[in-house]
A and B are shown apart, each in its own frame.
Chain A
Amino acid sequence: MIVTDLAIARGGVPVLEGLSFSLKAGKALILRGPNGIGKTTLLRTLAGLQPPLAGRIEGAEDQIAYASHSDGLKPTLTVVENLSFWASVFGTHDIQRALDAFALNELADRHAGNLSAGQKRRLGLARMLVTGRPIWMLDEPTVSLDRNAVQMFADAVRDHLGQGGSALIATHIDLGLDGEVLDVGPNKAKPKPIDDFDGGFL
């Protein structure tokens, strides 16, 4: 996946501009930057949920598995039901590997509504494994995970990279992954000069 000179906006306000990077198979790219800089917006743009202001994104959208802040779980379905739903949406049927990777076996028949925040997060991340897609886009994946679960997650990503996949991860902690760090801080969009305002308004 190659991104050239990308500019993105949130709610009509430009947040990042002049962003170029490439995501190689087998590598992770760690996205860093202060809160509100536009990391989530960048991930949503790359996942195809919103159009970019300018620039080019090469690499098919249907290669991407996206995980947002919320896990997309249904509280009245069990862990297995939630996971097998996403597996059949993505046309894969092996959920056992995902259950094993995130130690969800003993929770398999619990309703997702009865899980703790960290357990829900683990279930949400296990979803990535059943998508079977090569590019993972993860938005703050380690929120509410304990140290063990962070390790589980890092292992799952490492496994995924080992199989030739790639991952773009917005996170503030060090996961010890093989890959570069992309700091988007310097790409903050400059505010438009004030005399442009009338033109913009018209």
Chain B
Amino acid sequence: MIALLLRDLKLAFRAGGGFGLGLAFFLIVTVLVPFSVGPQSSLLSTIAPGVLWLGALLACLLSLDRLLALDWEDGSLDLLATAPLPLESVVTIKALAHWLTTGLPLVLAAPFLGVLLNLPAPGFSWLVISLLLGTPAMSVIGTFGAALTVGLKRGGLLLSLLVLPLYVPTLIFGAEVARRGAAGMETQTPLLMLAGITAATVALLPFASAAVLRINLR
């Protein structure tokens, strides 16, 4: 399992591995928002938590179609399925590798991009906390979507359509935590909901992903 994680991380950091794609997209979106909505800092600080959350979500979505497709194309998914690793742990490791190479950099970059959007001071810690709790769910749900569409040519569009509705609860509660935090309000309720969604997806979806992958490999 460790070997698979290390290989995936190594592949992501090597040339053409796609590391930084999500991060660059996140950067571009947040840099362009002030140009498009205008320079009123009060308006920007109101929409900052929502924009940052939406940017992070779309950046996550961007790298999903490569998550299992590359392994499927070169045949290593077939070979992994016949290897001693259970498919459940293969998809969990894949999701973890995706989070480490896409989700975690987004979490770390978010406070710096928050400055560009004039995010109010109390919002920074809540933004990081909410993204830290929410991005693992996005990776796990994304892996499920990737497992559903593996083997389809140009499955990226279908993948986005399947995954976006599943991202909505995470987006709602995650952005709500960041918004309430920025406004100096109490954040406990949305934070617990967000944590609950993440815990449930991490616990249940790997089994669903492995099951659909088994069917897709036939």
Contacts and interface: CB of A to CB of B under 8 A. Distances in A.
Interface of A: 44, 47-51, 61-62, 64-74, 76-77, 81, 85-86, 88-91, 127
A201 B33 CA distance: 55
Given A66-B82, A70-B75, A73-B74, 11 more contacts: A51-B218, A66-B78, A67-B79, A73-B76, A74-B11, A77-B11, A77-B14, A89-B3, A89-B4, A90-B84, A127-B79
B203 interface: no
Contacts of B75: 68-72
Contact of A72 (B3, B14, B16, B76): B76
B15 to A, nearest CB: 6
B84 A91 contact: yes
A74 B82 CA distance: 18
Contacts of B84: 62, 89-91
Interface of B: 2-4, 7, 10-11, 14-17, 74-76, 78-85, 217-218
DSSP class of A's interface residues: helix, strand, loop or mixed?
A: loop
B17 A89 contact: no
A198 B4 CA distance: 48
Contacts of B3: 85, 88-89
A189 to B, nearest CB: 17
A69 B14 CA distance: 26
A70 B74 contact: yes
Cβ-closest 6 pairs across A and B: A70-B75, A72-B76, A88-B3, A76-B14, A50-B218, A72-B75
Contacts of B10: 77, 81
A72 B82 CA distance: 12
Contacts of A76: 11, 14-17
A73 B75 CA distance: 8
Contacts of A64: 82
A77 B7 contact: yes
A91 B4 CA distance: 12
Nearest to B72: A70
A167 B207 CA distance: 33
Contact of A68 (B7, B11, B78, B85): B78
Contacts of B78: 44, 49, 66, 68, 70, 72
A91 B3 CA distance: 10
Contacts of B4: 85, 89
A47 B217 CA distance: 12
A114 B63 CA distance: 25
16 contacts: A44-B78, A49-B81, A49-B82, A49-B218, A50-B217, A50-B218, A70-B74, A76-B15, A77-B14, A81-B7, A85-B3, A89-B80, A89-B83, A89-B85, A90-B84, A127-B79
